[in-house]
Structure 1
Amino acid sequence: MPRIGGPFALFRRKWPAPVWEPMAPFIIAGGIVYYGVWQGQNALSNTEEFRNDPRNPNAKPQKPAAH
């Protein structure tokens, strides 16, 4: 009976050379940089200058002016 591969068959494959071990520092560093940029963006979007900017996803919706 043939083994069904599926979408993750590539990850179960035996590699002829080490792949994940040399790439681990770069994957970890990428995660750290991603987290740092995310936190920096959140910190800057909550500053006084951008707190009420309508492009800010954290800004409170302003009610339209009454007629």
Structure 2
Amino acid sequence: MAPSLLGKKFPGAVAKPMWPFYVSGLVIMYGVNSFANALATSDEYKNDPRNPALKNAPASEKH
């Protein structure tokens, strides 16, 4: 039998003990996305030509 390139396999759980980190990562990503969307629609940046939300808005909302 050829030797494994990854070494010996150990019967350890990977995803089960990591679930709090996965959940907290999703919560952080949701929070950052919400905050970025709130900043993009603020009065200071809503007319910025670099604003990605401005590209998808109808023509009546652009000005």
TM-score with structure 2 setting the length: 0.68
What does residue 25 of structure 1 align with? 20
**Structure of greater relative contact order (alpha carbons < 8 Å, 6+ residues apart):** 2
| Structure in which a larger fraction of residues adopt helix | 2
Root-mean-square deviation (Å): 2.0
What does residue 32 of structure 2 align with? 37
- In 2, distance between residues paired with 1:32 and 1:42? 15
Task: Identify unmatched segments of 5+ residues in structure 2.
Answer: 1-9
TM-score with structure 1 setting the length: 0.64
Task: Identify unmatched segments of 5+ residues in structure 1.
Answer: 1-14, 63-67
Q: Work out the percentage of aligned pairs sharing the same amino acid.
A: 44
Stretches of 4+ moved more than 3 A in 1? none
Q: How many residues align?
A: 48
